[in-house]
């Protein structure tokens, strides 16, 4: 009798397991065979993290455009090579002499960029506010006894070379906030705000009210019209170095103040101008101008400001998918390795690092560190290999894992927390036009640890529908294995 009961129980258990696997496989097959996925590129690789057993694979060695899951590659390399407690340094210095009687600096002030991507960032207000970092700088200048500066404020952002725009970023992205480029002296997320006003009726020309802050030498040609839609339909076109920009598209009708974020041209000069203005408000005049210039022999450093630790920067970068931070890491890895912050140098360093770790680099092409370029290509095997390394071999596994959002957080806010409770799902998303990818870690209801990479390119399905289907797929995987 006991044997019969055991046999019946085992049969039921086996049937449930098979049914569960069929559910998961059916989700994948339904997605593959959906008419709106016809002609699409689909790459899937799901492995048990510890034993590396393959649960499911589809085109695992085929290269796909990754979108922002490329940030996994960049952030993992940065943590490994720089360490989680690494900080960026921004310095202040002066040349010439301070007249002790009059308080006049007969010389120049220097702001020396060290590649800090977070200076004045909205993501680190607790770190750079109360008091504002500009106020802290002004206080340091006053503490030297300086009451007037008879020279210029020079911006030294030479830690990175001037060619800081990845060559394969598209024209549509460059002037928009998410296309802000890395700079040796970055600030305020390298963004500024364009304030627009619209008429009560749809189809009427909108008006540019102001820019915050005012950008010297920037000319805006406005072609935005009011719309019945409540969405921001604007797009900005322009050079990252300023000049004449054009803003097209639509904005909601009847708005007195509608704010559009744009990439800040020459952020170092904007920082210098803000410092000069603040000093003037504090009755410390600067007779000269704000311009770029390199540090000089005999210069006297007097203050250094450190960034938050890298682990905090990487966490914000992966949670909010901040392109700017990723591009800074590329340049900084080149600077720390070769003494020169360049895009090409940083990308070479990252790819060489993973090659030395035994991660396959075939079908792995990096044109930036953030995933904004459509010229990036990587296969699921490479991404899965990096994820497995960071989970099982990296001394910074905890910091890397914490940098990935949970369901309901950051770029995973669309995933139902009830389907993925606690820390059962941690992953990075990547999306752009006709690209949707996810990669990370999943813990199943039977406590199995999974590493997964899902990559979809060139589909006609709407992003929202595909996201729902991917959520169903991951839910089936979690519940049935």
Question: Hey, what are 481's tokens?
Answer: 């294995």
CA distance 295 to 183: 17
Sign of the alpha-carbon dihedral angle for 160, 163, 166, 169: positive
Give the DSSP H or E segment for 79.
Answer: helix 70-82
CA distance 84 to 309: 6
Give the DSSP H or E segment for 321.
Answer: none
- State residue 206's pLDDT score: 97
Answer yes or no: do 329 and 441 share one domain: yes
Other CB atoms within 10 A of residue 53 CB: 11
CA distance 47 to 44: 10
CA distance 325 to 77: 14
- State residue 180's pLDDT score: 95
Tally of structural domains, the chain: 3
Are 353 and 52 contacting, i.e. CB atoms less than 8 angstroms apart?
Answer: no
Whether residue 8 lies inside any domain: the answer is: no
Answer yes or no: do 135 and 273 share one domain: yes
CA distance 450 to 123: 31
- State residue 297's pLDDT score: 86
- State residue 6's pLDDT score: 38
Give the rounded distance of the alpha carbon of 420 from its chain centre.
24
Answer yes or no: do 452 and 323 share one domain: yes
Place of tokens 């090579």: 81
Strand 449-457 and strand 258-263: the pairing is unpaired
Answer yes or no: do 382 and 442 share one domain: yes
Domain boundary at 308, 338, 372, which?
Answer: 308
Answer yes or no: do 316 and 401 share one domain: yes
Q: Within a 13 Å sphere around the CA of 98, how many CA atoms are in the beta-carbon half?
A: 16
CA distance 214 to 231: 25
Question: Hey, what are 61's tokens?
Answer: 């060695």
Whether residue 37 lies inside any domain: the answer is: yes
Answer yes or no: do 207 and 344 share one domain: no
Question: Hey, what are 419's tokens?
Answer: 């389907």
Are 227 and 202 contacting, i.e. CB atoms less than 8 angstroms apart?
Answer: yes
pLDDT in tens, the chain (481 residues): 444 443 433 443 333 444 446 888 998 999 999 999 999 999 999 999 988 899 999 999 999 999 999 999 999 999 999 999 999 999 999 999 999 999 999 999 999 999 999 999 999 998 998 789 999 999 999 999 999 999 999 999 999 997 788 999 999 999 999 999 999 999 999 999 999 999 999 999 999 999 988 888 889 999 999 999 999 999 999 988 888 999 999 999 999 999 999 999 999 999 999 999 999 999 999 999 999 998 888 899 999 999 999 999 999 999 999 999 999 999 999 999 999 999 999 999 999 999 999 997 788 999 999 999 999 999 999 999 999 999 999 999 999 999 999 999 988 999 999 999 999 999 999 999 999 999 999 999 999 999 999 999 999 999 999 999 999 999 999 998 8
Give the DSSP H or E segment for 125.
Answer: helix 125-128
Whether residue 5 lies inside any domain: the answer is: no
- State residue 240's pLDDT score: 83
Whether residue 21 lies inside any domain: the answer is: no
Look at residues 151, 149, 132 and name the one whose alpha carbon lies nearest to residue 141.
Answer: 149
Whether residue 130 lies inside any domain: the answer is: yes
Residue span of the structural domain in which 368 resides: 26-84+311-480
Cα end-to-end distance, the chain, whole Å = 30
Angle at 286 between CA 282 and CA 292, to 5 degrees: 125
Whether residue 169 lies inside any domain: the answer is: no
Answer yes or no: do 97 and 67 share one domain: no
Are 438 and 415 contacting, i.e. CB atoms less than 8 angstroms apart?
Answer: no
- State residue 21's pLDDT score: 63
Return phi, psi of residue 353, to 5°. -60, -50
- Kindly report the CATH number assigned to the domain that includes residue 337: 3.40.710.10
Look at residues 111, 128, 238, 260 and name the one whose alpha carbon lies nearest to residue 181.
Answer: 238
Answer yes or no: do 273 and 325 share one domain: no
Domain boundary at 278, 308, 338, which?
Answer: 308
N residues, the chain: 481
CA distance 214 to 201: 29
Whether residue 20 lies inside any domain: the answer is: no
Answer yes or no: do 106 and 144 share one domain: yes
Answer yes or no: do 301 and 386 share one domain: no
Q: Given strand 435-443, what is the order of strands in its sheet?
A: 54-58, 41-48, 449-457, 435-443, 425-432
Alpha helices for 185-304 (secondary structure H): 267-281
- State residue 239's pLDDT score: 87
DSSP secondary structure, 10-37, as one string: HHHHHHHHHHHHHHHHHHHHHHHT-GGG
Query: Which residues lie closer than 8 Å to 454 by C-beta, 6 or more apart?
Result: 43, 44, 437, 438, 439, 470, 473
Answer yes or no: do 195 and 125 share one domain: no
- Kindly report the CATH number assigned to the domain that includes residue 288: 3.50.80.20
CA distance 46 to 452: 4
Whether residue 10 lies inside any domain: the answer is: no
Other CB atoms within 10 A of residue 348 CB: 17
Return phi, psi of residue 437, to 5°. -140, 150
Answer yes or no: do 299 and 190 share one domain: no
């Amino acid at each position: 009798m006991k044997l019969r009961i055991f046999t019946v129980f085992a049969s039921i258990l086996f049937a449930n397991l098979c049914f569960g696997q069929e559910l998961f496989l059916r989700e994948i097959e339904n997605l593959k065979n959906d008419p709106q996925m016809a002609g699409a590129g689909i790459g899937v690789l799901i492995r048990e993290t510890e034993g590396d057993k393959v649960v499911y694979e589809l085109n695992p060695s085929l290269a796909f455009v990754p979108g922002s899951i490329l940030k996994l590659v960049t952030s993992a390399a940065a943590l490994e090579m720089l360490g989680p407690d690494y900080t960026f340094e921004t310095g202040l210095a002066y040349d010439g002499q301070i007249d002790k009687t009059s308080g006049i600096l007969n010389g120049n002030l220097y702001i020396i960029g060290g590649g800090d991507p977070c200076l004045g960032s909205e993501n680190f207000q607790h770190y750079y506010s109360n008091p504002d970092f500009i106020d802290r700088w002004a206080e340091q200048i006053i503490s030297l006894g300086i009451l007037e500066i008879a020279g210029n404020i020079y911006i030294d952002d030479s830690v990175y070379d001037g060619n800081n725009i990845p060559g394969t970023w598209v024209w549509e992205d460059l002037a928009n906030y998410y296309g802000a480029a890395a700079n040796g002296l970055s600030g305020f997320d390298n963004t500024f705000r364009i304030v627009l006003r619209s008429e009560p009726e749809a189809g009427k020309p909108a008006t540019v009210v102001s820019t915050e802050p005012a950008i010297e030498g920037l000319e805006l040609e406005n072609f935005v019209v009011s719309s019945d839609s409540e969405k921001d339909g604007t797009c900005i076109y322009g050079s990252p170095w300023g000049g004449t920009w054009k803003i097209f598209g639509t904005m909601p009708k009847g708005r007195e103040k509608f704010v559009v974020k744009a990439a800040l041209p020459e952020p170092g000069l904007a920082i210098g101008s803000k410092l000069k203005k603040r000093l003037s408000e504090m009755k410390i005049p600067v007779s000269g101008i704000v311009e770029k210039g390199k540090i000089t022999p005999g210069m006297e450093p007097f203050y250094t400001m450190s960034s938050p630790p890298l682990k905090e920067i990487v966490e914000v970068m992966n949670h909010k998918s901040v392109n700017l931070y990723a591009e800074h890491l590329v340049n900084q890895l080149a600077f720390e390795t070769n003494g020169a912050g360049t895009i090409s140098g940083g990308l070479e360093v990252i790819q060489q690092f993973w090659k030395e770790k035994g991660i396959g680099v075939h079908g792995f092409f990096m044109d930036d560190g953030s995933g904004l370029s459509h010229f990036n290509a990587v296969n699921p095997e490479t991404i899965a290999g990096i994820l497995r390394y960071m989970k099982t071999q990296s001394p910074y596994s905890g910091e890397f894992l914490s940098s990935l959002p949970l369901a309901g957080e950051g770029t995973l806010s669309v995933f139902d927390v009830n389907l993925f409770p606690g820390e059962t799902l941690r992953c990075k998303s990547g999306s752009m036009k006709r690209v949707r990818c996810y990669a990370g870690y999943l813990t199943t209801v039977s406590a199995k640890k999974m590493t997964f990479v899902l990559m979809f390119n060139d589909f006609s399905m709407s992003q929202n529908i595909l996201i729902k289907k991917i959520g169903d797929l991951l839910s089936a995987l979690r519940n049935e294995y």
